[in-house]
Structure 1
Amino acid sequence: MTINWEIKELKLKETFSISYGNYDKREALLVRLSHLNRHGYGECVAIDYYHIDLKRFIIKLKEIQPLLEKQKIIHPADFFLFLSTLDLHPFLLSALDCAYWDLFGKLENKSFTELNQIPSESLAESSITISVADIDEQIRKIEKSSWNRFKVKCKGLDKNNIEQLLRLNRDIALDSNASFTDQDCLWLQEYEMGSQFSYLEQPRPVGAYKILNKKGFANWMADEDAQNLNSLEELLPYYKSVNIKLMKCGGLTPALEMIRKAKELGYKTMIGCMTESTVGISAGCVLAGLTDFADLDGANLISNDYASGNFVKNGNIILSGKPGLGIEL
């Protein structure tokens, strides 16, 4: 097995605004694992509020390259156990785990959903993100869109904006990216109409969730608070739902386990994404048969996608059915 990598620039179709800042582009690290003329692809992206440095990831890849290239083709679960010994950041771990699943499936001539017996029909429908903006601009984008589900980004809570969004009678979620105050959260979980939002994501900064009460009207969804399997039991009194992102938890292998555990504990689950090309989105799409929600619009937000595979059209997740994750450059 051989490994190659390169940094790609993802250009956004329009400025992406969230409470953390405004973005016109993202850098992505594309990883390729190859064997017998088959190629598997994985990806991770530089997110500043996660303090991701792709150059450090490349230094790590150069360090572990001899160990990776000595590996024989084994089951992806066993390969993940090997990766877990290498002290990798979850973002880089995810890129390698997804690339290996893609390669393994192509070598076996079976798709990821076949290999894991995951439903490939009646998939969760994806939302599309509406950036932070004036409420009139956000409403204009919603009304103009051909998508059915929306995740509206907000910076702080404006009760008038909340009421205007609810009057649209559309499938809308709110994502404050940790910009709500304790008082905002108390109001939302006591506000009966708040239950009309499909979910309210990561209202407070990481670790500041104890003001939340899952028994209120708000369907609180953990994002940055739910990094991995170990966080689920601790969050249970506070959140009804969890957003599982491959880069956060370390790839498809741990995501499968995290979804299973979350369901056992009674959570609603979502497969989410960041700003990613079709390489990253293809990996997320294969889990949509297991989750209640999906937010896989990342590749739809960029203008220079460099891959094909599984994709999302107007919210509908379309699996290619090809071996592995179906990714081609």
Structure 2
Amino acid sequence: MLIQIAHEGKIGYGEASMVPYMGESFETATDFLSKVDARQFQYPFDFGSIIAYLDNIAPGNPAIKAGIDIALHDLEGKLQNKPCWQLLGSDPSKMPATSYTIGIDTPEVIIKKVKEAPNCKIIKVKLGRDSDRELIKTIRSVTDKPLFVDANQGWTDLEQSLDLIHWLHEQGVLLIEQPMLKTDIDSNAWLTERSPIPLIGDEAVQRLADVEKARGVYHGINIKLMKSAGMHEANQMILKAKELGLKLMIGCMSETSCATLAGIALAPQCDWADLDGPFLTSNNPYQMPDFADGKWVLGNDAGLGIRH
């Protein structure tokens, strides 16, 4: 769902990318928007107060809240004639390479997807089944690019998981997202203590209040704007994670260039990026952001830098 907010002749664009497991849909988003009083969005925007206001309307609903927050950030940048990355204190020269995701599939399809992948320097692999090793071996038969792994809470046996982690380390895996159930804090912490690869909390880390809980359980956290209710709280999560000594990954849902540009504005503050939405979205109404040498390129256009 695309959001537009106007002020003084400028229009801010935002996006809510809703996924079923987060409990959001077009209907829930529409219902939430019907309760929002846009008079609460007074310029200059107090983003902390705005998020508090949106949270007070109803709990949850992080994606539609993110859509509003992103639109307001885009609008703020346009009103100040500054890019969002500058307003958020990012350094374009520190942009990390982004990964490209390959889902679980047959060996033939996986090989085809790897060969057809865009010019990304990192491949992200979805694991969490009995065929994990075979999938990695299939990918390794056609590429030696570094890998991110997302276990999607799919591992259950501690010793087997640790053995697999050591094997994945030998295969050039750089990090592993959410190895075990997000509610199984002790098992995730046990693996983190013994893993040679950074383990990243994903489903376990939604909003700012969850960052503190990740310390000692994971090496780092994966921030997604559609979980964090937007750019403001994502930025607060980054600052908190750095304070706690946690590594940082910024990820995405199935997002167009709009929400991806919002993530790109924060990416230089993170260690890793998984912002491949525009590569995987067939109904992107905007131009592809600039991409070179495996990295998104930040421009100097005001706001997010969306190109229609």
Give me the CA root mean square deviation: 2.3
Say if 2:97 and 2:120, in contact at 8 Å, map to a contact too. no
Match of 1:83 in 2: 54
Q: Which runs of 5+ in 2 are unaligned?
A: none
Greater strand fraction, Structure 1 or Structure 2: 1
Q: Deviations over 1:157-192 (max 9, x none)?
A: 433444555675321011122222224423234558
Scaled by the length of structure 2, the TM-score of the pair is 0.88
Say if 1:285 and 1:311, in contact at 8 Å, map to a contact too. no
Match of 2:247 in 1: 268
Match of 1:57 in 2: 29
Q: Distance in 2 between the 1:192 and 1:70 partners?
A: 49
Say which SS state the counterpart of residue 304 (structure 2) adopts.
coil
> How far is the alpha carbon of 1:309 from its aligned partner?
6.9
Match of 1:178 in 2: 153
**Percent identity of the aligned residues?**
29
Say if 1:179 and 1:203, in contact at 8 Å, map to a contact too. yes
Match of 2:113 among 138, 141, 165: 141
> How far is the alpha carbon of 1:81 from its aligned partner?
4.2
Say which SS state the counterpart of residue 147 (structure 2) adopts.
strand
Scaled by the length of structure 1, the TM-score of the pair is 0.82
Greater helix fraction, Structure 1 or Structure 2: 2
Aligned length: 299
Q: Distance in 2 between the 1:324 and 1:53 partners?
A: 27
Q: Distance in 2 between the 1:136 and 1:220 partners?
A: 29
Q: Deviations over 1:65-89 (max 9, x none)?
A: xx21364212343444443443352
Q: Distance in 1 between the 2:112 and 2:127 partners?
A: 15
Say which SS state the counterpart of residue 104 (structure 1) adopts.
helix
Say which SS state the counterpart of residue 186 (structure 1) adopts.
helix
Match of 1:73 in 2: 43
**Deviating more after overlay: 288-297 vs 260-269:** 260-269
Q: Distance in 1 between the 2:276 and 2:21 partners?
A: 20
Say if 1:222 and 1:243, in contact at 8 Å, map to a contact too. yes
Say if 2:3 and 2:67, in contact at 8 Å, map to a contact too. yes
> How far is the alpha carbon of 1:262 from its aligned partner?
1.0
Say if 2:98 and 2:296, in contact at 8 Å, map to a contact too. yes
Residue type at the aligned position of 1:63:
K
**Deviating more after overlay: 102-111 vs 49-58:** 49-58
Say if 1:190 and 1:217, in contact at 8 Å, map to a contact too. yes
Match of 1:223 in 2: 202
Q: Which runs of 5+ in 1 are unaligned?
A: 1-28
Task: Classify 1:217/1:40 alpha carbon distance in 2 versus 1 (closer, same or farther; 3 Å).
Answer: same
